[in-house]
Amino acid sequence: MPLSRERAEKITSSIGHSQVLILGDVMLDEYLYGQVDRISPEAPVPVVDIQETRHLLGGAANVAANIRALGDEPLLVGAVGDDDAFIKLRRLLAEQNISADYLVADKSRRTTIKTRVMAHNQQVVRADQENRHELSETVEQQVFERVSQASDGIAAVIISDYGKGMITLSLLQRVTDLCLQKGIFIAVDPKESRFNDYKKVSLITPNHHEAGFAYGRRIRTESDLAEVGNGLLERLQAKAILITRGADGMSLFQTGQEPTHIPTFARHVYDVTGAGDTVIATYVSAIAADANAVEAAIVANAGAGFSVAEVGTATVTSEQLRKELMRNIANGNLDRTKGKSM
């Protein structure tokens, strides 16, 4: 068995004692909940009677929320607008005991807001308010200084790249070099359009669409998956690539090893929003708790099962992970994990 009951207990009980730096696109998620009873007379679209508005942490801030929920300390670094959205974002961060001290206010941009209109637990439409231009040299230097200041004593860095201009090539290279010099584990949740820029990282976590696009081959078969996973591993000189595959689970590729395929254990799938954030956060927290790569991937898979069972972005605690892993072990689910081609 790739993860024993004893190891699951050891890893989940050890989570919560590390600092993790999260660098990336910090966003505010806005949810408008309502009911649909009629179609608009102005256009063939539903009229949503809004009954509730909620604001949640999004993007890199949601990764930080996941790290905090697991018990580790997130150090959130990024550039935001000097605006009302940042005021709301800062309040949400404070409510979850996440510091905003490492965020840089950039007067040339606005804080990204993703507004989702929900009716009957389904998303009707999404509207985005954002800027996507790259950071100026001045702001980039301020951001890198925050990373450098926070890097002492951290267990890992997570780069959460949503393609909003926060992760410039020069910033990515500087942060990667810093992590390599200090021996810090570095994980990337990638943007497919700049995939080849993520060189020499410890882990990269694309979904199967992103991985196929980046490599230039759509993943349809097991052989496609193997070619893409191993090809990207070599091209990027990465230590590991975890390809998330929706209903087909996850596949972990490591340098010099056979791939490991982990089936999905999700019992219900309501909303995949933020699932990638949960995957990378739980994987990194498990690594910080001395899990190996395969063990961390199994833990991340369990975390993803919790995330997709909730509407909107969701987090998972180490105790929830422990219970889910124990359930999977007891039910024999982990016996379906394969360390060779399926």
Catalytic machinery residues: 277
The alpha carbon torsion through 162, 168, 171, 177 (nearest 10 deg) reads 80
Would you give the distance in Å from CA 188 to the centre of its chain? 8
Contact 116, 81 (CB under 8 A): no
Nearest partner of 128 among 91, 167, 85, judged by Cα: 85
What are the beta bridge partners of residue 16? none
d(CA 145, CA 204): 24
Cβ-based neighbours of 170, under 8 Å, separated by 6 or more:
140
Residue 97: its H or E element? none
Contact 189, 205 (CB under 8 A): yes
- The CA R_g of the chain, rounded to the nearest whole Å, is 20
Contact 237, 278 (CB under 8 A): no
> Burial level of 80, CB count in 10 A (0-12/13-18/19+)?
buried
